[in-house]
Chain A
Amino acid sequence: MSRLASGGVWLQRKGLKMTITVLDNGWISDSFTIGESPPYNDAIVMSPDQYNALTADQIEAMKQERYDRWVAMITEASAEIIDGG
């Protein structure tokens, strides 16, 4: 699927790539990529108990929600920020 997000950033939603690793503290990191132009890279990090209590569909929905939030964030107008930068 591909789409043109409001605000004009071209975003493509293509196959989701994922890598699951166990962190030093024993928690699970489910790292994933959605899209290509540009890609969104993120990870769901939680304890093994929490992670294992989720179904594959629930985890997929969480990833999709994160991607959608990111799209909303980067396409909404940014407030004007006064700084001395």
Chain B
Amino acid sequence: MADRYWVGGTGSWTTISTTNWSLFSGGASGASVPTATDSVFFDQAGTYTVTATGALACLDFTVSLGVVTFSEISSTITISGSLLLASGTVSSWTANLGIIFNATTSKTITTNNVAIGATTFNGVGGSWTLGSAFSVNNGAIDLTNGTFSTSASNFSVTCALFRSSNSNTRTINLNASTFTITGSQWNFFTSTNLTVSGSGATVTMTSSSTKTFSGGSANWGAITLNQGGAGRLTITGSNTFANISNSYNATGATSLRFTSGTTQTVSNFTAAGTSGKILTIDSSTPATAATLSQASGTVSVDYMSLQDSTATGGATWYAGANSTNVSGNTGWVFTAPPSGSSNFFLLM
């Protein structure tokens, strides 16, 4: 285990070049290329570009000074340690420069508002905790093995896709964070050996194209699943949620589609439309319903178009006076709730 310091300003980080590596901060170049047991430091003043080339590796990755641009040529960096990009030290990180975190112990990821490339967490027994908000530059986060936690500070996570569909042992601790999914999927289709923890988190799916929340029939009771865009949101699996909501009703019409034959068990259901911005709910196979279940209380929504939806579980489900009963619905009351009912949908 050793340290490697980047020197000489702009240059290429390759699997063979020693031109920009030193054994000491600001020292002479010529040190060997870092390996998975060597921590790398970018701690020199100045503005420069590091072009990553090939399959690279290091232990800890720290940028503490200067203003660095990270570009790449067919490169991935495997980081066995922690990642720390000090505030203001990385001007850009190309979207194609992906990172694989493969630690088998606890590590920290602090990116300070730098959106990095597609990121994979794959270390048996590994644990990665955020030290700041975390964004992937229009790409995927893959949780293959280990634990991903947003920390007790509830740091926000932004990516196009979040995927963890496998049978490996893994944990996602959402704490009370906001996960913004800008692309097509939250994919936990196979949720075997998955642990979900946290409380008060929101997963909001903002794409204007169709997108899917594949919950794998897991207990997502820690989260509110929010429809945050115009694209239809399909929910697969029989999942449990704290809430299903629709923030896009401030902007336009949108839709939720549930896989026929599945049941979504919720503590609250506030997904509603507004005047002129209808929320459509239907099922994947016409004439075969999907079920929404809430144990108690009153669900009160409005401006809905409902088809093939069964509402049950003990709660009273009011679709509202301005909703449309298309066909195949059971358990919905197509009126406003009587005065005094709880959980009124509040327009602000």
Report which A residues bind B (CB closer than 8 A). 4, 7-10, 19, 23, 27, 29, 31, 33, 37-47, 50, 62, 66, 69-70, 73-81, 83, 85
Contacts and interface: CB of A to CB of B under 8 A. Distances in A.
B249 to A, nearest CB: 8
Contacts of B178: 38-41
B294 interface: no
Contacts of A31: 153
B107 to A, nearest CB: 13
Contact of B165 (A27, A46, A79, A85): A85
Contact of A74 (B113, B139, B182): B182
Contacts of A38: 156, 178, 180, 202, 204, 226, 247
A52 to B, nearest CB: 13
Contacts of A81: 138-140, 160-161, 183-184
A78 B182 contact: yes
B44 to A, nearest CB: 15
| Chain A interface SS verdict (over half) | mixed
A10, A38, A62 — most chain B CB neighbours (10 Å): A38
B132 interface: yes
B138 A70 contact: no
Contacts of B252: 8
A47 B202 CA distance: 32
B94 to A, nearest CB: 14
A65 to B, nearest CB: 8
Contacts of A76: 182
Nearest to B95: A79
Contact of A70 (B150, B156, B177, B247): B156
Interface stretch (B83-91, B234-242, B261-269, B326-334): B83-91
A23 to B, nearest CB: 8
A14 to B, nearest CB: 13
Contact of A41 (B139, B156, B229): B156
A83 B161 contact: yes
Interface of B: 64, 84, 86-88, 110, 112-113, 115, 131-133, 135, 138-140, 150, 153-156, 158, 160-161, 163, 165, 177-178, 180, 182-185, 187, 202, 204, 206-209, 226, 228-230, 247-248, 250-252
A68 to B, nearest CB: 11
A85 B84 contact: no
A74 B187 CA distance: 19
A76 B204 CA distance: 14
Given A8-B228, A10-B247, 9 more contacts: A23-B131, A41-B133, A43-B131, A73-B115, A74-B206, A78-B138, A78-B184, A78-B209, A81-B184
A78 B247 contact: no
Contact of A78 (B160, B230, B248): B160
9 contacts: A7-B229, A8-B230, A9-B204, A10-B247, A41-B153, A41-B156, A45-B87, A46-B86, A62-B87
Contact of B209 (A10, A73, A80): A80
A33 B152 CA distance: 13
A41 to B, nearest CB: 5
A23 B86 CA distance: 13
B229 A40 contact: no
A8 B229 contact: yes
Contacts of A79: 138, 160, 183
